[in-house]
Chains A and B, each alone.
Chain A
Amino acid sequence: DVKVTQSSRYLVKRTGEKVFLECVQDMDHENMFWYRQDPGLGLRLIYFSYDVKMKEKGDIPEGYSVSREKKERFSLILESASTNQTSMYLCASSDGRANVLTFGAGSRLTVL
């Protein structure tokens, strides 16, 4: 089975801190994604990457950046965390354009 591992399940950070969320997949998938999930808003795409060192903005990229230096790893960076970035962050990967996503367990970030 494809496994997508998010390094942190729960994080608590302070406003203004730099936050790194790490995601690793073990099935050689080309595409990787970061979503945030908020009650009543569903999943919203932050960034995605279809190849190493490639990145594309999703629907809500403001306040976030990403890094993909290796195929298996996709990092989400909050340069200066704010309280409105308190959310559940989901990483996913897929092979090819059909976008059958495999999700990680999620990282719940609280910004105080």
Chain B
Amino acid sequence: AQSVSQHNHHVILSEAASLELGCNYSYGGTVNLFWYVQYPGQHLQLLLKYFSGDPLVKGIKGFEAEFIKSKFSFNLRKPSVQWSDTAEYFCAVNADGGAGSYQLTFGKGTKLSVIP
């Protein structure tokens, strides 16, 4: 079974600081990787995804993530955060094909607070 580990429970940054949220997964096969975001009072929504190809993927609102297969990692980055990035961020993984394809496994989430 796959599992996802997010390193930080709560991150506090000042506006314009750079962001990196760690995500590691455990699964031996090919995976699809996702970052979802939940802004205060809003639905969970997709931030970005990786299925195959270029390991550096770009998402909405200036976010990007890099898939490093050898490290089983999919860290989320943003060069300069804004107050509006305050949200909870979830990393998720599912197996690409096979019995685990339907099950998207989420990490425990990282709360990001951006101070104006």
B101 touches A99 (CB 8 A): yes
Query: How many of chain B's residues have a CB under 8 angstroms from any CB in A?
Result: 23
Residues of B within 8 A of A33 (CB): 104
* B34 CB within 8 Å of chain A: yes
Interface string of B82-116 (1 = CB under 8 A from A): 00000000100010010001111111110000000
Please, which residue of chain B has its CB at the minimum distance from the CB of A33? B104
CB distance from A58 to the nearest CB of B (A): 7
Residues of B within 8 A of A58 (CB): 103
Q: How far is the CA of A96 from the CA of B34 in the complex (A)?
A: 15
Q: How far is the CA of A56 from the CA of B101 in the complex (A)?
A: 12
CB distance from B2 to the nearest CB of A (A): 11
Pick from B44, B51, B101, B107: contact of A90, CB under 8 Å:
B44
A105 touches B32 (CB 8 A): no
* B68 CB within 8 Å of chain A: no
CB distance from A51 to the nearest CB of B (A): 11
A50 touches B108 (CB 8 A): no
B-side interface residues toward A, CB under 8 Å? 6, 9, 32, 34, 36, 43-46, 49, 51, 90, 94, 97, 101-109
The contact sample of 15 A-B pairs, CB cut-off 8 A, is A31-B102, A33-B104, A42-B106, A42-B109, A43-B44, A43-B90, A43-B106, A43-B109, A48-B103, A50-B102, A56-B102, A97-B102, A99-B94, A101-B104, A105-B43
